[in-house]
């Protein structure tokens, strides 16, 4: 590793569409990127692609649901290279069953375990070290669905709402210790995950454009950033309406979510 490394950034969910684009956005000559995901081959390909832009790149094929393995890796990493920023980006989607029947138990559990508990596992692996050092930046990637739940994606919406609440709590706790917390809520982004979403996707944008917006919000240490602006503003205004009226607007977001091939039995 070169001696001009100034900061160390860890990101989970690095092999997904947003993760890949964000890795490219964050890559700098004075940075060490630590990329975490389950798919080793995709991680290695990404590391090779961004290595010319970074002082150093490290990968770890880990599942954020495996708390012990994740914490062990992060503790070792922080001992070698104190972590300046951690981005909890790992996430999965699923929806209702056939003919709008109830969610499958496995799908509901998986979304809560990866989207919420995985984020908590990620943060808890470094937060105490950051608190004691009196510096650091925690970034939680949630979703607009966490601000206003989608009728066809109950567990996904709930998991992202939990991430938002968790982030607000972390920020209140950690601000006096000098640790920043940013909550990022993207809308529809063109990724393999989004391709499984069969329904209206207003203001959908490319992963590259989304990653650029996320990087700018992160660099400005925005406490809460939701985009695209028009859709996020509409959600904020809609949340001010009585629930029965607000519910009428959600009919336009009806969708079917195709099965995630990574988790087929």
Active centre residues (catalytic): 156
**Is there a contact between 110 and 259 (Cβ–Cβ < 8 Å)?**
no
Measured distance CA(146)–CA(184) in Å, rounded: 11
* Token code pair at residue 138: 């925690």
Residue 202 is given by DSSP the state T
Distances from the Cα of 75 to the Cαs of 78, 111, 113, 224, in angstroms? 5, 26, 21, 28
In the numeric block, the tokens 């056939």 are attached to 98
Measured distance CA(60)–CA(226) in Å, rounded: 29
Residue 114 is given by DSSP the state I
- H helices of the chain, in order, are 17-26, 40-50, 67-80, 105-111, 118-124, 127-133, 154-174, 192-195, 207-219, 229-238, 243-249
Which of 78, 75, 74, 49 has its CA nearest to residue 60? 74
Which of 164, 170, 166 has its CA nearest to residue 142? 164
């Amino acid at each position: 590793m070169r001696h001009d490394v100034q900061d160390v950034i860890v990101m989970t969910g690095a092999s997904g569409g947003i993760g890949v684009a964000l890795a490219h956005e964050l890559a700098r000559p004075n940075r060490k990127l630590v990329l975490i995901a389950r798919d080793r081959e995709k991680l290695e390909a990404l590391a090779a692609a961004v290595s010319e832009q970074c002082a150093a790149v490290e990968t770890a094929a880990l599942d954020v649901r495996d708390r012990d393995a994740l914490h062990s890796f992060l503790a070792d990493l922080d001992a070698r290279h104190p972590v300046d920023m951690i981005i909890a980006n790992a996430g999965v989607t699923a929806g209702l069953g056939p003919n709008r029947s109830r969610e499958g138990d496995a799908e509901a559990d998986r979304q809560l375990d990866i989207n919420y508990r995985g984020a908590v596992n990620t943060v808890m692996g470094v937060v105490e070290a950051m608190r004691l050092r009196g510096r650091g930046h925690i970034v939680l990637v949630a979703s607009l669905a966490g601000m206003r739940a989608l009728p066809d994606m109950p567990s996904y919406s709930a998991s992202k709402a939990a991430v938002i609440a968790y982030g607000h709590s972390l920020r209140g706790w950690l601000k006096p210790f000098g640790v920043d917390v940013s909550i990022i809520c993207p809308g529809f982004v063109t990724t393999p995950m989004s391709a499984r979403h069969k329904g209206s996707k207003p203001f959908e944008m490319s992963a590259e454009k989304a990653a650029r917006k996320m990087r700018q919000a992160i660099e400005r240490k925005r406490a809460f950033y939701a985009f695209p602006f028009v859709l996020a503003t509409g959600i904020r205004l809609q949340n001010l309406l009585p629930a029965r009226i607000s519910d009428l607007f959600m009919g336009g977001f009806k969708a079917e979510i195709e099965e995630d091939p990574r988790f087929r039995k």
